[in-house]
Amino acid sequence: MVKIAIVEDEAEARRSLASLLGSYFTARGEDWSAAYYDNALRFLDSYKADCDIVFMDIEMPDLDGMSAAEKLRAVDPLVLLVFVTNMRQYAIRGYAVDALDFVVKPVERASFFSLMDKALRILAGRGGREIMVGSTTGMRRVPVSRIRWIEVRRHRLTFHTEDGDFEAWGNLRDIEAELPADSFSRCNIGYLVNLAHVGGVDGDDAVVGGDRVRISRPRRKDFLADLARYCGSGR
């Protein structure tokens, strides 16, 4: 199921995009759903970082699409963002917020289908699964494969990922329950490590990405056994 949001203040433009999406997904045999917003502020207020693709009009009242996109990226750096505009000169600004592409009104069917093919290839290429995490900036979608390690300090979680570090609310035990047990292991009561990112063990430390993560004495045997089992699986 591909989840889409259309943020567009013009009713006719919303209907046009919805029609094109319906035609596209029928032709490709894919399931999809869409939510519609005529106001960027309303969209941002209700957004839960659970969309795959967002179509964003650039020229809207109250909050323009570019400003809305900057706020969107703060809570969801992964969603595919497509700008909808009447003027091509706005398109270059999309690179600042990592937009996938832009479409010019009125939207042409063939180019739209090509854009959607590209979007679905990206979604398929990400593979794996994602978890939703309540961060200090709101709900955040995190690909499991990009997590390097997680630590807990004073009831606050820090996720160390390939895309940078961020703090989150929650309990390490609850997060651990959401992650694949054969790929994650605790090397310390407060550290949960993605075994795919372990480059080696140096003394009392696991080398995880560019970090050295301490292996506690009580956890050492089990952690090394988990690491050996993971490496032996050939993944």
Neighbours of 44 (CB within 10 A): 18
CATH code, domain with 42: 3.40.50.2300
How far is the C-alpha of 28 from the C-alpha of 41, rounded, in Å? 32
Using an 8 Å Cβ cutoff, are 235 and 196 in contact?
yes
* Tokens linked to 36: 């519609």
Extract the tokens encoding 47.
Answer: 């957004």
Do 136 and 56 lie in a common domain?
A: no
Phi-psi bin for 62: left (phi > 0), alpha (psi -120 to 50), beta?
left
Q: Domain boundary residue among 94, 124, 154? A: 124
Spell out the alpha helix ranges (H) of the chain: 11-28, 40-46, 65-75, 109-126, 172-178, 217-232
Which domain CATH number covers 219? 2.40.50.1020
Domains: count for the chain:
2
Per-residue confidence (pLDDT) for residue 57, from 0 to 100:
93
- Answer yes or no: do 162 and 188 share one domain: yes
What band does 94 get if pLDDT is binned at 50, 70 and 90?
low
Quick check: helix, strand or coil at residue 105?
coil
- Given a cut of 80, whether residue 229 has pLDDT beyond it is yes
191-207 pLDDT, tens per residue?
Answer: 999 999 999 999 999 99
Has residue 168 got a pLDDT over 80?
A: yes
Tokens of residue 73, six digits: 């990226």
The mean pLDDT of 185-190, rounded to a whole number, is 96
Task: Please check whether residue 136 is in contact with residue 151, taking contact to mean a CB–CB distance below 8 angstroms.
Answer: no
CA 121 to chain centre: 15
Taking a C-beta distance cutoff of 8 angstroms, is the pair 216, 187 a contact? yes
pLDDT for 225 equals 96
Same domain, 77 and 138: no
Claim to verify: residue 149 and residue 196 sit in the same structural domain: yes
29 and 110 inside one domain: yes
> Within this chain, do residues 87 and 148 fall inside the same structural domain, yes or no?
no
For the stretch 38-83, pLDDT in tens is 999 999 999 987 889 999 998 888 898 889 999 998 888 889 999 9
Asked whether the predicted pLDDT for residue 5 surpasses 90, the reply is yes
Spatial neighbors of 173 by CB under 8 A, at least 6 apart, are: none
- Do 42 and 108 belong to one domain? yes
Using the 3D structure, point to which of 124, 142, 157 is the last residue of a domain: 124
Let me know whether 35 and 78 are in one domain: yes
Residues 190 and 95 in one domain: no
The CA-based angle 134-135-140, given to 5 degrees, is 70
Joined together, the tokens standing for residue 39 give: 């106001």
Are residues 155 and 74 both part of a single domain?
A: no
23 and 88 both lie in a single domain:
yes
Range of the domain at 35: 2-124
| DSSP tally for the chain: helices H, then strands E | 6, 15
Q: In the sheet that 2-7 helps form, which strands lie side by side, from edge to edge?
A: 32-37, 2-7, 53-57, 80-85, 101-104
Which of the listed residues 106, 124, 142 is the one where a domain comes to its end?
Answer: 124
